[in-house]
Amino acid sequence: MTYCVGLRLKTGLVMLADTRTNAGVDNIATFGKLHLFEATGERVIMLAASGNLAITQSVFNLVSDGFESATSGKVESLYTVQSMFRAAQLVGEAIRRVYTTDGEAMKAQSVGFEVAMLLGGQIKGRELRLFQVYSAGNFIEATEDTPFLQIGEHKYGKPILDRAARHDIELGDAVKLALVSMDSTLRSNLTVGLPLDLAIYRRDALKIALRRRITEDDPYFRGLREQWSTALREAHKHIPPPDWMA
């Protein structure tokens, strides 16, 4: 399994993904799940994936190399689409194409067709957008009211984002929230694991602001985990017990 989160903010975009793949307790490996498609000054697109690794890698290759779209009749890739909406459509088409090729064979082997993707970024002259694409190829979009989207093992980290994620927070605060959300998931689910891949984009910059792989030895992440645990314990201690227990 995996956990990926994206936050589309007034100031930019933050995306974070773990790297663990799990095909059983004795078959764990590390694969990058966050891919960047960047042409400086022209476009920055981020694509993160959860689900079956063979499916997600096929989709990554299709949208990177390009394929003939059933919608437009042209060969398109994430380097050539003219809008983020069209990029989301293209990722959906790629997922359906992989299903057409492999879906029945997977079903015959009792393997489910499981995939979900986060697609975020900006193309020159267009708005910064963030989408979640489902296994059927359809998608939803993050809004100012709900500025974050999650895929994979999202339930452990969602309460933190529900309480604190707002469209107008700064990128640094969004990175902290994403990392705390990930830490909560790491502590509660063994199928999500380090290292983590982080990417930050500033609105209208049309170039990546920061890309970082966070390992267990990363001093900031270690400090954040310790400080968050301490803060939770202290907050719990300072809340008075129910008066009806007296």
Write down the pLDDT at residue 71: 85
| Phi-psi map region of 73: left, alpha, beta (phi>0 left; psi -120 to 50 alpha) | left
Cis previous bond, 159, omega within 30:
no
44 falls within a domain: yes
DSSP per-residue codes, 36-81: EEEETTTEEEEEEEEE-HHHHHHHHHHHHH-EE-TTTSSEE-TTT-
The pTM assigned to this predicted structure is 0.96
Mean pLDDT per block of 10 residues along the chain (246 residues) reads 95 97 75 97 98 97 96 94 98 98 97 97 98 98 98 97 98 98 95 96 98 97 97 96 91
What was the pLDDT predicted at 130? 99
pLDDT value, residue 24: 63
**Looking at residue 2, what is its pLDDT?**
93
- Identify whether 243 is part of a domain: no
What pLDDT, on the 0 to 100 scale, is given for residue 246? 80
Q: Has residue 182 been placed in a domain? A: yes
Q: Is 144 exposed, middle or buried (0-12, 13-18, 19+ CB in 10 A)?
A: exposed
| Range(s) of the domain holding residue 225 | 3-238
Counting the structural domains of the chain, the total is 1
- Is 232 part of a structural domain of the chain? yes
Does residue 75 sit within a domain? yes
Q: Which residue has the tokens 């975009």?
A: 13
The CATH number that applies at residue 21 is: 3.60.20.10
* Separation of alpha carbons 208 and 213, rounded Å: 14
In a domain, 245, yes or no: no
106: in domain: yes
Residue at 222 is within a domain: yes
Contact present, 196 and 213 (Cβ < 8 Å): yes
Contact indicator for 131, 139 with CB cutoff of 8 Å:
yes
Note the pLDDT of residue 138: 98
Closest listed residue to residue 45, CA positions, set 131, 140, 162: 131
pLDDT tens digits, 184-205 = 999 999 889 999 999 999 999 9
Joined tokens for residue 29: 């490996």
Cβ neighbour number for residue 125 with a 10 Å cutoff:
9
